[in-house]
Structure 1
């Protein structure tokens, strides 16, 4: 029986765990993954095909994060009717 080296999945042919769609992630997790992708790409150590895949994933995460921030801003504007008010921790429910 031939064993592969689990420490190096690229050589073993082992499939990588499925990456969740950005829309299934929490904002903070998406930002953390995006930061990791940027670090990996800036290091210049990824092969061409992995760089292209990382770029695509980064674009997906960036678009998702920008949409989440935009949605949060719209919610705040609706809740506050466009005017700045003091935050009241005792009143109202969080949505």
Structure 2
């Protein structure tokens, strides 16, 4: 498993790495030391993804004139 010491290039790549870590940890075959390291890496990836999502939400707020509204699916029907 690759170390995540450097920032991720994209949200998608970080999410894919996080999914790999989750799969490996859920297998139950990981030694404790590796599980702890993977957990730390996963937490870093989660923080990165949350930051990217917050940035995207802020950009949407700007694009929507700070009037970000909940999605109403009934309007499209």
Place the TM-score, normalised by the shorter chain, in its bin: 0.7 to 0.9
| Residue from 6, 25, 31 that aligns with 1:47 | 31
TM-score (norm 1): 0.64
Largest Rg, 1 or 2: 1
| More relative contact order, 1 or 2 (CA 8 Å, 6+ apart) | 2
Kindly indicate which of the two structures has a greater share of residues assigned to helix: 2
| Residue from 79, 86, 95 that aligns with 2:63 | 79
- Number of matched residues? 68
Shift of 1:25: 2.2
Return the alpha-carbon distance in structure 1 between the equivalents of residues 41 and 3 of structure 2: 13
TM-score (norm 2): 0.77
Where do 5+ consecutive residues of structure 2 fail to align?
A: 69-77
